[in-house]
């Protein structure tokens, strides 16, 4: 049921993201793009990012959203006008507010005219950082197989291969879920920690941050932060 709901939402988002008829030429299009990562430097999937032209509140097409993909990337197309077609009524120089919905993370950029994207008359790139407590909203391959059920689930597992099957020796899915209770540990990070031999919150709490940083992609600062959070979790 959950997988079906997600598919419906994604389909609706795709329909809503289609440009209106008046945006058939580049002089009517302005783009906002970028990535959303957490404070550990990990991309966050499934978050809604909204870009709004504050100079034209309530005007159709001047406030739109996009959902971050598996790499944390997003691309928003706004219906704004260049000075070639609108003269003094153009949107060049308008103030754009870019925010991650459901959080306090926001930034402001100007709708400057440039050639960064030939599909429109301008594009701004913004990088947004959310707290590591903000969890990604995308379903992983295992979750899709689980909620899809039946033949679809079997085919998904067969297609993606045995590398997604968790053996008891490595802790299994239950152990990984335990690691993901620590802020900043998503699916990819949990898999990496398991490869290093850390399969539970207790393992992470006992790990040496310096060794952890050497054996994984974590920086020393990130490793110390995760070990500290694991110890704090055990005290709760």
Cα–Cα dist 93/82, whole Å: 10
| pLDDT exceeds 90 at position 19 | no
Residues 81-115 have pLDDT tens digits of 999 887 878 999 999 999 999 999 999 999 999 99
Q: Note if the pTM is more than 0.75.
A: no
pLDDT confidence band for 176 (50 / 70 / 90): very low
- The proportion of the chain whose per-residue pLDDT surpasses 70, expressed as a percent, equals 74
Element (H, E) at 74: strand 73-79
Among 25-29, 133-137, 165-169, 179-183, whose mean pLDDT is lowest?
A: 165-169
User: What is the structure's pLDDT at 1?
Assistant: 52
User: What is the structure's pLDDT at 177?
Assistant: 52
Residues 25-49 have pLDDT tens digits of 999 999 999 999 999 899 999 999 9
φ and ψ at residue 75, rounded to 5 degrees: -145, 120
Asked if 196 and 216 touch (Cβ cutoff 8 Å), the reply is: yes
Q: What is the DSSP letter of 216?
A: S
Average pLDDT score over residue span 171-191:
72
**Domains of the chain in sequence order:** 2-130 (2.60.40.10), 166-235 (1.10.150.20)
Cα–Cα dist 145/158, whole Å: 10
Among 98-102, 103-107, 158-162, 165-169, whose mean pLDDT is lowest?
A: 165-169
φ and ψ at residue 103, rounded to 5 degrees: -135, 175
Residues 66-88 have pLDDT tens digits of 999 999 999 999 999 999 887 87
pLDDT confidence band for 52 (50 / 70 / 90): very high
């Amino acid at each position: 049921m959950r997988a079906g709901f997600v598919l419906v939402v994604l389909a609706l988002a795709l329909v809503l993201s289609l440009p209106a008829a008046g945006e058939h030429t580049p002089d009517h299009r302005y783009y906002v793009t970028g990535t959303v990562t957490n404070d550990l430097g990990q991309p966050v999937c499934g978050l809604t990012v909204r870009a709004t032209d504050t100079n034209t509140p309530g005007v159709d097409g001047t406030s739109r959203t996009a959902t971050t993909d598996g790499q944390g990337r997003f691309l928003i197309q706004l219906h704004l006008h260049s000075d070639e077609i609108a003269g003094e009524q153009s949107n060049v120089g308008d103030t754009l507010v870019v925010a991650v919905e459901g959080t306090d993370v926001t930034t402001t950029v100007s709708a400057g005219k440039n050639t960064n994207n030939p599909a429109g008359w301008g594009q701004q790139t913004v990088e947004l950082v959310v707290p590591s407590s903000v969890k990604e909203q995308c379903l992983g391959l295992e979750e899709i197989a689980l909620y899809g059920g039946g033949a679809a689930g079997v085919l998904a597992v067969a297609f993606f291969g045995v590398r997604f099957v968790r053996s008891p020796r490595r802790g299994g899915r239950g152990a990984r879920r335990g690691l993901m209770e620590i802020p900043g540990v998503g699916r990819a990070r949990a898999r990496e920690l398991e490869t290093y031999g850390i399969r539970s919150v207790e393992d992470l709490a006992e790990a040496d941050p310096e060794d952890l940083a050497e054996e994984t992609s974590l920086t020393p600062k990130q490793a110390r932060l995760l070990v500290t959070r694991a110890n704090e979790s055990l005290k709760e």
